[in-house]
Amino acid sequence: MSMQNIVAVIGPTASGKTALSVELAKHFSGEIISADSMQIYKTMDIATAKPTEDEKQGVPHHLMDFLDPCEEFSVARFCELAKTAITDIAARDHLPIVTGGTGLYVDALLGDMQFEEAQVDPVLRATITAEVEERGIDKTLDYIRTFDPASADRLSIGRNPKRLIRCIEVYLSTGMTQTQLNEKQTGSGSAYHAIRLGLTAHDREFLYERINRRVDLMMENGLLEEARRFYQLQSGDTASAAIGYKELLPYLGGELDLDICVANLKRATRRYAKRQMTWFKRDESIHWFHIDELSFDEVLGEATAMIKKEFHYE
RNA sequence: GGCGACAUAGCCAAGCGGUAAGGCACGAGUCUGCAAAACUCUGAUUCCCCGGUUCGAUUCCGGGUGUCGCCU
């Protein structure tokens, strides 16, 4: 049997992924699967730039707006749910369109990374975290070296505490080293025939201006109220990482002026966009469209033609 | 007009006679179960300009220019 066709629309925040994917969905009777680590959460609407019902234009959206902010989420969970959604969409004879800015999610799904083993155990993770904090990076690296020298070498470059913790966690919970596990998990290539459409701008300032404007718009649309509500609920670690609330918190607490908080929020968003671009840059299979050089209709036209050709649609 | 203070990287800023700390921003990058997260790397042949003292000046002296404050 042939591989499942999939379109992926990726790129930094505020590049217009939502609008493009909705139009493509209308054209190819597609359904959208959001690959966004924050739009999964209910009530986090304005901050995550979640599309409104109007903007969705009746196109089904999956993996969006379904989880309570107090619940944790992860790449593994995403892949599991996304694969199911793809199967369902294909059964309806519709085209799955994966849209989102969370690079790890997109790559894990399309690259078919396997996540069956090495479940996260919160208690174990907490214990290891405490230990790493106490021992410090160097001693932790020495410890890792005793069972997985290859990982110790790899991790000694970035010295990223989270990675060290995960490396120990994998070993303690599975008995396998992360090196062994990664070899095993590296997907068999891919189960999908995917075409990757990327949106970005040649001129970075162009994108940054869009981001600044969008943040202003979010403020006009009630982001402050949403932030206030967010902090009245209890939310999990995953949801708390969202850009949009934590930057406004100092104002809500009376510690900073609002305009300073808004400026910080814009900066945080611009940095996020930059990190996204860094992530996607290394993927040479992405077909890029520059939104500062093409109109929306031109992008849509080219993307449509590309999909027809690639998937041999009439 | 008088008096005083200050002039160091895009911004904040230390040094005050021995060959330019640090922070922020920007930029570059890493990424296999919190990824909108976490983490790594990177900048001054030169300290406002001109002259002087000195083996040696960002540091001391004189002059200029600019900014700020106070006074009239």
Residue whose token pair is 């080293």: A177
Looking at residue A255, its pLDDT comes to: 87
pLDDT of residue A6: 97
Query: What gap in Å lies between CA A37 and CA A233, rounded to an integer?
Result: 19
pLDDT value for A113? 83
| CA-to-CA dists, residue A110 to A85, A114, A188, A193, angstroms | 13, 11, 11, 9
Query: Residues 207-266, chain A: which have Cβ under 7 A from strand B?
Result: 237-238, 241-244
Nucleotide nearest to A154 (CA to C1'): B30
Check residue A180 and give its pLDDT: 87
pLDDT at residue A261, as a whole number: 94
A:42-71 Cβ neighbours of strand B under 7 Å? 47-49
A117 CB inside 7 Å of strand B: yes
- A122-135 and A137-147 helices cross at what angle (nearest 10)? 120
Give the distance, in angstroms, between residue A261 CA and nucleotide B4 C1'. Answer: 38
Nearest Cα to A268, choosing from A7, A13, A9?
Answer: A13
Distance CA(A159)–CA(A139), nearest Å, equals: 11
Q: From the CA atom positions of chain A, what is the Rg in Å? A: 21
Rounded CA gap, A74 and A76, in Å? 5
* DSSP string computed for chain A: -PPEEEEEEE-STTSSHHHHHHHHHHHHTEEEEE--TTTTBTT--TTTTPPPHHHHTT--EESSS-B-TTS---HHHHHHHHHHHHHHHHHTT-EEEEE-S-HHHHHHHHTT---SSS---HHHHHHHHHHHHHH-HHHHHHHHHHH-HHHHHHHHHH--HHHHHHHHHHHHHHSS-HHHHHHHHS-SS-SEEEEEEEEE-SSHHHHHHHHHHHHHHHHHTTHHHHHHHHHHS---HHHHT-TTTTTTHHHHTTSS-HHHHHHHHHHHHHHHHHHHHHHHHT-TTEEEEETTTS-HHHHHHHHHHHHHHHHT--
Nearest nt (C1') to A108 (CA)? Answer: B32
Strand order in the sheet with A286-290: A61-62, A30-34, A95-99, A4-10, A192-200, A286-290
pLDDT for position A114 = 79
ipTM of the complex: 0.90
* pTM as predicted: 0.92
pLDDT at A174: 86
Domains in chain A, CATH or no CATH each: 4-113+187-311 (3.40.50.300), 122-185 (1.10.20.140)
Tens of pLDDT along chain A (314 residues) come to 578 999 999 999 999 999 999 999 999 999 999 999 999 999 999 999 999 999 999 999 999 999 999 999 999 999 999 999 999 999 999 999 999 999 999 999 998 887 866 677 888 899 999 999 888 888 999 999 999 999 999 999 888 999 999 999 999 988 889 888 887 766 566 789 999 999 999 999 999 999 999 999 999 999 999 999 999 988 899 999 999 999 999 999 998 889 999 999 999 999 999 999 999 999 999 999 999 999 999 999 999 999 999 999 87
Helices A103-110 and A75-91, interaxial angle, to 10°? 60
Q: What is the pLDDT of residue A191?
A: 80
Residues 284-313 of A with CB under 7 A from strand B: none
**CB of residue A157 closer than 7 A to nucleic acid strand B?**
yes
- pLDDT of A118 reads 64
Both tokens of A152, joined, read: 């110790």
Is the CB of A101 within 7 Å of strand B? Answer: yes
